[in-house]
Amino acid sequence: MASFYELAQLCETLSQTASRIQRVQLVAEFLSTLAPEEVEIAARFLAGQTLAQGENGRLKLSARAVWKAAAELAGETEPDQALLANAADFGEAIETLMRLRGAEAGPTLAVVDVARAFEAIAAIAGRAARQGKLAALRELMARAAPLEGKLLARIVIGEMRHGVGEGLLVEAIAQMAARPLAEVQRAFMLEGDVGRLARAARHGDLKLDAQAISPARPRPLRPMLAQPAADIAQAFALLDRPFALEHKLDGARVQIHRFGAEVKIFSRRLNEVTRSLPEIVTLVQESVKEDGVIMDGEVIALGADGRPRSFQDLMRRFGRVHDIQRLLREQPTALFLFDLIAWRGRLMVDAPYHTRWDALSALAQRAGLTLAQRIVAGSVKEAEAFFEDALTAGYEGVMAKALDSIYTPGARGGGWLKIKRAHTLDLVIVAADWGYGRRRGWLSNYHLAARGEKPDELLEVGKTFKGPSDEEFQTLTEQLLALKHDERGKTAFVRPELVVEVAYSDIQRSPRYPSGFALRFARIVRVREDKFAADADTVATIAQRFARQAAGVSPLGGI
């Protein structure tokens, strides 16, 4: 049986190999030595996946759980946080912690053993699930050598740090199977799970038919993604051909399958969320009469007044299987469709977007389903007016889709663009965390605060490590160290003098911060050298923006 230790050694070698060609060759050679079942597992582990695509959510293990298990095995109730701060990454910190217990350095696990252990952990449910999962993880790590523990940690948190992305892994699978790369890429686009792809390639059983689907195929296709565009003018320049604009909803992407009487719903990450959205299931069952249909769309949360609620509120519904009837009353949802991936048992991924939209429009009209609002842009002026109307109505922005674009699952096709207008606030840095890995030695995770009602009161509204370049991280570290007045653990607390302009996607209610709010997807745009802390934005301003965000024009009509 294939040794998990050998896989860990391969990952170490890959992390020290600069050449892409050599990395592809190393992975291909390793996979070619494995049995079919082992090939599937190893490919999945190399991609940083514990389970099959769409199943990772069942594991419910966090980095905190891995750290706790390793610490208990090392006899450390509270291991030194400096160990984590000084490590190159989380996996290396776990390896060091495991060496404290004097674990054996050689191989102890098989690849199949680890896969079975992950499946067993994922299957643990019930009131004591958390404790049961932690105990099972601790048992697995107790059998692992330090180097194996390092790889286990990296797989669980999905940060492999070996330079093998999805594209490179697919190249290695093609080389292993001695098949044309384009052929294997096509098969992966339709399959979606790199483990199953590797196994099929080993058997010479790649699925290349982009048309036929069946009720027996329980797996969704990965959603097509979009490239960002700065504005409408850039969208015209990049696409350089006829395109449509659609409202970009701030909800959850869903893929809806209708085969016979059965309806299944999958999330953006391909996790099945059917049981969490029974009202959407009923809607599709009662309205869609055609068989073999796969629709792409967005679900948004609604308040009692029919207005859209925040993305955070919607996320309370996803993955929930208990108290659904209560949540149905408290947090109803609405469905908006924007693409048709399969129609009457035939995939439509190779059909142009305008053909898919026409078929979807006809289906929606017959079924009484709601489509995302859309126009075919005739001019920059018309498109900009549509964009401004979308922003006024409370949408994130718009999607621009070339009329001739095909549907490319899992890829950021050049035929789709997303256009949003960034919101910004001027905030004060009140503390910062020391980074690790490439950011070791820098204060690189910044605690952001807005002014409160009282004089000199600053209330945190979130953190971010995004935005600055390496040079800017260095400069910010020097500036913040000059302002430092205290340091506890990995956090340096600074005098509130440095103001930064922060972009964000939206505002959420948050009991975590004293301000009561949190910024979603915050990133630093620039340091405001021209501003003092007294010039920073206030929590009242954030509250006003949140109110406008919540009171925007509903996609269902009305204010």
Residue 328 lies in a domain: yes
- Position 310: which residue type? S
CA distance 365 to 352: 20
- Of 402, 420, 438, which one is at a domain's C-terminal end? 420
Do 115 and 246 share a domain, yes or no?
no
Closest Cα to residue 188, out of 170, 204, 164?
170
Same domain, 259 and 384: yes
Tell me 58's DSSP state. G
Q: Residue 555: what pLDDT?
A: 37
DSSP character for 163? Answer: S
Instruction: Assess whether 444 and 510 both reside in one domain.
Output: yes
pLDDT for 235: 93
Same domain, 370 and 500: no
Q: Are residues 269 and 372 in the same domain?
A: yes
Q: Is the Cα torsion angle 480, 484, 486, 489 positive or negative in sign?
A: positive
Same structural domain, 352 and 259: yes
Helix axes 20-32, 4-15, angle to 10 degrees: 170
Specify the pLDDT at position 333: 87
pTM of the model: 0.73
Strand runs labelled E in 144-275 = 225-229, 243-248, 252-259, 262-267
Q: What is the pLDDT of residue 286?
A: 94
Task: Compute the C-alpha angle 116/120/125, nearest 5°.
Answer: 165
Whether residues 427 and 459 share a domain: the answer is yes
Sequence-distant (≥ 6) Cβ neighbours of residue 187 within 8 angstroms? 197, 200, 201, 206, 207, 208
Single out the residue in 420, 446, 462 at which a domain terminates. Answer: 420
Give a yes or no: residue 149 inside a domain.
yes
Q: What is residue 518's predicted lDDT score, i.e. its pLDDT?
A: 93
Is 2 exposed, middle or buried (CB count within 10 Å of its CB: 0-12, 13-18, 19+)? Answer: buried
241 vs 217, 227, 470, CA distance in Å? Answer: 36, 16, 38
411 plus 445 within the same structural domain: no
Spatial separation of the C-alpha atoms in residues 392 and 433, rounded to whole Å: 37
Residues 415 and 450 in one domain: no
DSSP strands (E only) in 328-422 = 333-343, 346-347, 374-376, 397-402, 412-420
Residue 280 lies in a domain: yes
pLDDT of residue 457: 87
How far, in Å, CA of 117 to CA of 489, rounded? Answer: 34
Q: Which of 157, 176, 198 is the endpoint of a domain?
A: 157
454 is a catalytic site residue: no
Question: What is the pairing mode between strands 225-229 and 412-420?
Answer: parallel
Residue 269 maps to a domain? yes
Alpha helices in 47-110 (DSSP H): 63-73, 81-86, 90-99
Please give the average pLDDT of every successive group of 10 residues along the chain, which has 559 residues: 94 94 97 94 95 84 86 76 71 88 72 96 91 95 93 89 89 95 88 90 75 61 85 92 92 90 88 89 94 93 67 67 68 91 91 97 96 94 94 86 94 86 86 88 94 86 91 91 85 90 89 91 85 85 82 40
Is residue 359 in a domain?
A: yes
Asked if residue 441 is part of any domain, the answer here is yes
Counted domains in the chain: 3
Residue 300 in any domain: the answer is: yes
385 and 525 belong to one structural domain: no
* Residue 16 in domain: no
DSSP string, 266-334: EETTS-B-GGG-HHHHHHHHHH---SSEEEEEEEEEB-TTS-B--HHHHHTTTT--SSHHHHHHHS-EE
Supply the pLDDT for residue 360: 98
CATH number of the domain within which 495 lies: 2.40.50.140
pLDDT value of position 391: 86
Is residue 497 domain-shared with residue 472, that is, in the same domain? yes
Whether residue 407 is found in the same domain as residue 266 = yes
DSSP 445: E
Q: What is the CATH number of the domain that holds 112?
A: 1.10.3260.10
Catalytic residue among 150, 248, 401, 463: 248
CATH number of the structural domain spanning residue 388: 3.30.470.30
Q: What is the extent of the structural domain holding 229?
A: 225-420
Helix 63-73 crosses helix 90-99 at what angle (to 10 degrees)? Answer: 10
- In whole angstroms, give the CA distance from residue 99 to residue 75: 11
- What 3-state class would DSSP assign to 448? strand
